[in-house]
Structure 1
Amino acid sequence: MALQISATNPEHPALLLELPWDVPLEEWPEEYLVPLPRGISRHVVRYSRAGDEVIAVKELAERPALREYELLRDLDRIGIPAVDPLAVVTGRTDADGAPLESVLVTRHLGGSMPYRSMFETTMRPATMHRLMDALAVLLVRLHLAGFAWGDCSLSNTLFRRDAGAYAAYLVDAETGDLHPQLSQGQREYDLDLARVNISGELLDLEASGALHPSVDPIEFGMEICARYRGLWDELTRTSVYPAGKYHYIERRIRRLNDLGFDVAEMQIEHASNGDTVSFVPKVVDAGHHQRQLLRLTGLDTEENQARRLLNDLESWMATQEDYAPGDPLGARPEVLAHRWVREVFRPTVRAVPPELRGAMDPAEIYHQLLEHRWYLSERAQHDIGLDTAVEDYIKNILPKAGETLLPTTD
C-alpha cells in the first residue's frame, strides 16, 4: 500500500513528507529530532519538526492510530484540553518494502511537561496538590463531555503553567470512548483506574528518591478521588436561582473556592422559572488573581482582594447581554471589565464618605462592602443589592468599627 497522510490542515502533508517515514521511529536520525523531555509510553514517541511547528510522532498500529486521531478531533471540537491531532500516516514501508507501523502526529503542547520531568527536582507537596487538582478538573471535564478515558494516569497527561494557572491536558486517547453521557459505573471505573495508576506512579518516584518524603503515594492516589467527587457534585448539582438571588450564586462560588478551585467561566441562562447557572473550574497558582485583575481592570490589589473582586466581576459580566464567551461578536472581557470599573466599582467606592474610609484603599473598601452584602443577604435569605449594603455599611458598621471594620481575609 502506498504512503498515505491524512491531515486536518491541507498544508501539513507537504511538510510531513520531508520526514523519514521509511525508517522505524526508534531509529530516526538526530537531525530530524527535537530534544524535548518525553514521558513513559507503551509506544515509541519522538519529537520532530514540520515546518515551523514542533510535532509529536507516535508509532502504533493503523486501526488504533486512526481511532485515536478521530477521538482527539472530537475532543477538540467540544473544547476539551487535549493535544491537537494533526495527521495520521499509514502505508509505511522500510527500504526493503517491509511494512512499518502507522504513526499519529500531534502538535507539541508548548510549555508543557510530562510528570517525570517535573519531578527531576523534588516537588513541594503544595505544588503536587495543585497538579492533582488540575488532573481532577480534566477528568471531570472529560466525564461531563461523555468521554470515558479508560487509562487516566500521570503518564497520559501533560501539565502546563500559564499565567499562574495549572492545567492538565489529555495526551493519550487510545483507550478512550465518547458517549452521549456516562453512567456512574463508567465514571467510577475511570476514577478507580486513576487512583491505582497514580499511586503506582508515585511509588515508582518514591523508589527512585524523587518524591518528597512527606508525600504518601497511596494517600495521594486517594486524594484525586475525593477532589473529583467534591468537584463533580458541586458542578453537576442542578440549581435554579430565583431572579435577584445572586447571593446564592456567590455561595456556590465560595464552595468551589473552599474545594481549592476558582471559576474560569460562568454562564447564566435566564428562564421564566429562574436562572440556571453553570461553572467551568480551574486551578491557579499564587498571585494569579492579582495578575488577572491588574490585566483586566488596572486595579492593583492584594491576592485575596483580587479573588473577591474577580468573583464579583465574573458574576456581573454573566448578567450582561453582550457577554458571550467564545463568540467573536460578543464584548471582550477587557471591555466588560472596564465597564464594570466605571459603572459599578468606582460609584460604589465613592458612595463611602472619604472621612469614614480611614486607611482603607478603594479595593479594600469594595471588598468589605461585598462581604457586608454577603452577610446581609444570607441573613435576609435574598439578595439585598449593593446599594442597600452600602447604605447599611455606612450607617451601622463604619461609625462603630473605625479603621478595623470587618475582619479582612488578606
Structure 2
Amino acid sequence: MALQISATNPEHPALLLELPWHVPLEEWPEEYLVPLPRGISRHVVRYARAGAEVVAVKELAERPAVREYELLRTLDRLGIPAVDPLAVVTGRTDQDGAPLEPVLITRHLGGSMPYRSMFETTMRPTTVHRLMDALAVLLVRLHLAGFAWGDCSLSNTLFRRDAGAYAAYLVDAETGDLHPSLSRGQREYDIDLARVNISGEMLDLEAAGNLHPSVDPIAFGHEICDRYNALWDELTRTSVYPAGKHHYMERRIRRLNDLGFDVAEMQIEHSSNGDTVTFVPKVVDAGHHQRQLLRLTGMDAEENQARRLLNDLESWMATQDDYAPGDPLGARPEVLAHRWVRDVFRPTVRAVPKELRGSMDPAELYHELLEHRWYLSERAQHDIGLDAAVEDYVTNVLSRQVGTVPHASDEDEDEAPDGAATPV
C-alpha cells in the first residue's frame, strides 16, 4: 500500500514528506528530531521539525489514529483546549517492504510542559494546587461539550503558564468519545478515573523524591474531584432570586467570567417564589465580545467594555416579555438590542452632564456606571437601578473629580456611535 498523508492543511503533506517514514519512529535519526521534554505515553512519541513547524509524531494503529485525529478536529471546532491535529500518515513500510504502524501528527503546543518535567525541581504546594485548578477547568469544559475523556490524567495533559496561573490542554483523545451531552454517571466515571490516575502519578513522583513533603498524593487525587464538582455546580446550577435582587444575577455572571467562562444564553422564568435564572456558559475566543456587540448594536468598543455591555444587554433582554429564544414569534436579538440602545443605553449616557464626562467615550462611561451600580447594589443588598446609580456617580464621583477630569470636546457625545441606533 502506498504512503498516504491525510492532512488538515494542503501545505502540510509536502513538508511532512521530508520525514523518514520508512524508519520506525523509535529509530528516527537525531537530525530530524527536536529535543523537547516528553511525557509518559503508551505509544512511541517523538518531536520533529517539518519545515517551520515543530510537530509531535505518535505511532499507533490506523483505526485509533484516524479516530483520534477526527476527535481532535472536532474539539478544535468546539473551542476546547487541546493539541492541534495536523495529519495521519498510513501505508508506511520499512526498507524491506514490511509494514510499519501509522502515525498521528499534532502541532507542538509552544511553551507547554508535561507534568513530569515541571516536577523535576520540587514544586511548591500552591503551584500544584494551580495545576489541579487548570485540570479541573479542562475536564469541565470537555464535559460541557459532551466529551467523555475516558482517561483523564496528568500524563495526558500539557500545562502552559497563563497570566500567573496555568492552562491545561488535552493531549491524548484516544479513549475519548463525543456525545450530545453527558449523563451524571458518565461524568462521575471520568472524575473517578481522574482521581485514581492522579493519585498514582503523585505516588510515582513521591517515590522518585520529586514531590514536596507536605503534598499528600491521595489527598490531591481527591482534590481534583472537589474542584471539579465546585466548578461544575457554579456553571450549571439553576439559581432562584427574589424579586428586586437582580444584582445577584450580576454577581453570578462575574463569578463565571472570573472562571474563564462567558454566559452565551440566559433565560428567566417567572415563578411564585422569584425569578428562576438558567445560565448556559460557553467558552469563546478572543475578540468575541467586540464582534458580538458590533453586530447587535453597531457599537465598536474594547473587549472588556464589550463584555460588560453585552452582559447588561443579556440581562435586560431576559426581562422583556417578547424575548423568547428559539421562538419564531419572539423578538430577534437584533431588535431587542436596538431597543436597549434607544431606551437604556442612550438615556443613561445622556443623564451624565457633558462637562463631567471628560475624555470617556459613551461605551466607557456606561461601563463605569454599571460598575458603580454593582458596588452600590452590593452594599445595599438589592438592585438600586441605573437611575440611582447615575445620580450617585455624578454627585459622589464625577463632581469631586471635576478639577482633574479633562473637559469634554465640543463634539456631541450624547449619541451612541454611528449605526448604534440602526442595527436592523
The answer to whether the 8 Å contact 1:351/1:390 transfers is no
| Displacement after TM superposition at 1:15 (Å) | 1.0
Partner of 1:180: 180
Q: TM-score, normalised by structure 2?
A: 0.70
Query: Does the 8 A contact of 1:265 with 1:314 survive in 2?
Result: no
Match of 1:90 in 2: 90
Q: Distance in 2 between matches of 1:272 and 1:116?
A: 49
Could you tell me which residue of structure 2 aligns to residue 375 of structure 1?
A: 379
Q: How does 1:14-33 map to 2 (within 5 A)?
A: 14-33=14-33
SS in 2 for 1:188: helix
SS in structure 1 opposite 2:123?
Answer: coil
**SS of corresponding position for 2:187:** helix
Q: Which position in structure 1 is the counterpart of 2:9?
A: 9
User: Is this contact kept in 2: 1:59–1:103, CA < 8 A?
Assistant: yes
Output the CA distance in 2 between the equivalents of 1:365 and 1:145: 35
Counterpart of 2:311, as a letter, is: S
Match of 1:279 among 265, 281, 289: 281
Report if the CA contact (8 A) 1:373-1:386 is conserved.
no
The amino acid of 1:279's aligned partner reads P
Task: Tell me the residue number matched to 2:132.
Answer: 132
Letter paired with 2:107? R
What are the equivalent positions in structure 2 for 1:309-324 lying under 5 Å apart?
315-316=311-312
Output the CA distance in 1 between the equivalents of 2:347 and 2:41.
Answer: 53
Between 1:177-186 and 1:239-248, the stretch displaced more is 239-248
Instruction: Measure, in 1, the Cα distance between the counterparts of 2:117 and 2:313.
Output: 39
Aligned length: 341
1:149-298 map, 5 Å: 149-239=149-239, 246-253=246-253, 262-269=259-266, 276-280=278-282
- Cα distance change on mapping 1:320 and 1:365 into 2, 3 Å: closer
- Which one-letter code corresponds to 2:4 in the other structure? Q
Question: Once structures 1 and 2 are overlaid, which stretch shifts more, 116-125 or 133-142?
Answer: 116-125
- Alpha-carbon distance in structure 2 between the residues aligned to 1:125 and 1:317: 41
**For residues 370 and 28 of structure 2, what CA distance do their matches in structure 1 show?**
60
Work out the CA distance in 1 between the residues paired with 2:348 and 2:214.
46
Q: Secondary structure at the match of 2:231?
A: helix
- 2:226 aligns to what SS in structure 1? helix
What secondary structure does 2:247 align onto?
A: helix
Deviation of residue 20 (structure 1)?
0.1
Partner SS for 2:69? helix
Structure 1 residues 156-165 or 116-125, which shifts more?
A: 156-165
Residue in 1 that maps onto 2:417: none
Q: Distance in 1 between matches of 2:355 and 2:283?
A: 34
Q: Is the 8 A contact 2:256 2:263 kept in 1?
A: no
* Distance change (3 Å), C-alpha of 1:385 and 1:151: same
TM-score (norm 1): 0.72
User: Which AA in structure 2 matches 1:375?
Assistant: R
Contact 1:54 1:107 in 2 (8 A): yes
SS in 2 for 1:249: helix
Distance in 2 between the 1:351 and 1:126 partners?
49
Q: CA deviation at 1:250?
A: 2.6
In structure 2, what is the Cα distance between the partners aligned to 1:197 and 1:160?
A: 20
C-alpha distance after superposition, 1:145-204 (max 9, x if no partner):
111111000000011123445211110001111112211111111111100100111111
Structure 2 equivalent of residue 357 of structure 1? none
Equivalent pair of 1:45/1:58 in contact (CA under 8 Å): yes
Partners of 1:372 and 1:393 within 8 A in 2: no
Measured in 2, the distance between the counterparts of 1:17 and 1:277 equals 48
Q: Give, in whole Å, the separation in 1 of the partners of 2:121 and 2:192.
A: 28
Provide closer, same or farther for how the CA distance between residues 365 and 41 of structure 1 changes in structure 2, counting only shifts above 3 A: same
The structure-2 alpha-carbon separation of the partners of 1:206 and 1:75, relative to structure 1 and needing over 3 Å to count, comes to same
Q: CA deviation at 1:370?
A: 3.3
CA 1:271–1:231 in 2, change beyond 3 Å: closer, same or farther?
closer
* Counterpart-to-counterpart distance in 2, 1:343 and 1:123: 54
* CA deviation map 1:102-144 (0-9, x unaligned): 1000111111111111112221211211111111111111111
Q: Equivalents in 1 of 2:65, 2:42: separation in Å?
A: 13
Give the alignment of 1:359-398 within 5 angstroms: 370-376=374-380, 378-379=381-382, 383-389=383-389, 391=391
- Cα distance in 2, alignment partners of residues 179 and 365 from structure 1: 43
Alpha-carbon distance in structure 1 between the residues aligned to 2:351 and 2:162: 33
Contact 2:266 2:278 in 1 (8 A): yes
Q: Percent identity?
A: 73
Which has the larger Rg?
2
Question: Hey, what's the Cα distance between the residues in 1 that align with 2:347 and 2:124?
Answer: 43
Question: Aligned partners of 1:346, 1:163: CA distance in 2, in Å?
Answer: 38
- The whole-number CA distance in structure 2 between the counterparts of 1:23 and 1:255 is 52
- How many angstroms does 1:241 deviate by? 7.3
The 1:231/1:271 distance shift into structure 2, 3 A limit, reads: closer
- In 2: Cα distance, 1:256 partner to 1:62 partner: 41
SS at match of 1:209: coil
Contact 2:348/2:390 (8 A) holds in 1: no
Q: Which amino acid aligns with 2:84?
A: D
Q: How does 1:322-341 map to 2 (within 5 A)?
A: none
Structure 1 residue runs of 5 or longer lacking an equivalent are 283-295, 299-305, 322-329, 331-341, 353-362, 397-410
* Contact persistence 1:253–1:263 (CA under 8 A): no
SS of the aligned residue for 1:135 comes to helix
Q: Give the structure 1 partner of residue 110 of structure 2.
A: 110
In structure 1, distance between residues paired with 2:146 and 2:386: 40
> What 5-or-longer segments of structure 2 have no aligned partner?
285-300, 318-333, 335-345, 357-366, 397-424
- C-alpha distance in structure 2 between counterparts of 1:113 and 1:77, whole Å: 24
Tell which deviates more after alignment, 169-178 or 208-217: 208-217
- Look up the equivalent residue of 1:223 and give its one-letter code: E
How well do the aligned residues superpose, as a CA RMSD in angstroms?
3.9
CA contact (8 A) 2:49 2:55 kept: yes
With over 3 angstroms needed to count, the CA separation of the structure-2 counterparts of 1:53 and 1:75, relative to structure 1, is: same
Distance 1:77 1:366, change over 3 A: closer
Contact 2:152–2:194 (8 Å) recurs in 1:
yes
Letter of the 1:232 counterpart? W
| Change over 3 Å in CA distance of 1:208–1:220 after alignment to 2 | same
